[in-house]
Amino acid sequence: MKTLSEIDTTSKRATRGVGFSWGIAEEVGKNMRLLELYGLPGIKNLNKFLKDYKEKHFQKSTLISEKNNSNKNPFCPITLGTNFIDQIILLDKKTNIEISNVAYPILFIPFVSRASETIGKRIFLKIDEKEFLLNLNQSIYSNYLKNEILENCNSINISFLENNNLFNENEWS
């Protein structure tokens, strides 16, 4: 079994090898570590994404708004994710964010998980019919447990959940 450090380092090198900057490669390394730690197929999806990267001309995102549509080519999950995490303080003020047509959406999940920790809120992420509850970058609860490559999705919905107790005052007393 590969160690998390090996996963991180090899992912960084491979990402840098296809032309991403070292900074982005560092982010991808951290993300692959998280996906594999949580039992999601990170390496498998990253490998296929990197093979397709030069040929498929994925759409790069910049400013993320409440509705984000990619008309021709699917969004690149790496640039989408780095922009999401960079803009999370502003995005947190929105109720719901919709993104259509994203390539390899599994690669977007750890960016959202890390953003959850940054804002101190749980985030509910829905990729088509697959649901993920991201809890402050500490855990991921999901109805998706397949070890497969997910090349594209039609829609991603992101909801920010307020921090509320699951018990009432009587139960607390």
Predicted confidence band at 164 (pLDDT cuts at 50, 70, 90)? confident
Most confident range (mean pLDDT) of 16-25, 91-100, 156-165 is 16-25
Note the pLDDT tens digit of each residue in 3-43: 999 999 999 999 999 999 999 999 999 999 999 999 999 99
Note the pLDDT tens digit of each residue in 100-148: 999 999 999 999 999 999 999 999 999 999 999 999 988 888 888 888 9
Q: Is the pTM here over 0.75, yes or no?
A: yes
Structure tokens of 62?
Answer: 């910049």
Q: Locate tokens 């959202």: which residue?
A: 112
Structure tokens of 42?
Answer: 């990170």
Short-list 29, 38, 30, CA closest to 11 = 29
Kindly calculate the radius of gyration of the chain based on its CA atoms and give it in whole angstroms. Answer: 16
Asked if residue 127 lies in contact with residue 61, where contact means CB atoms within 8 angstroms, the answer is no
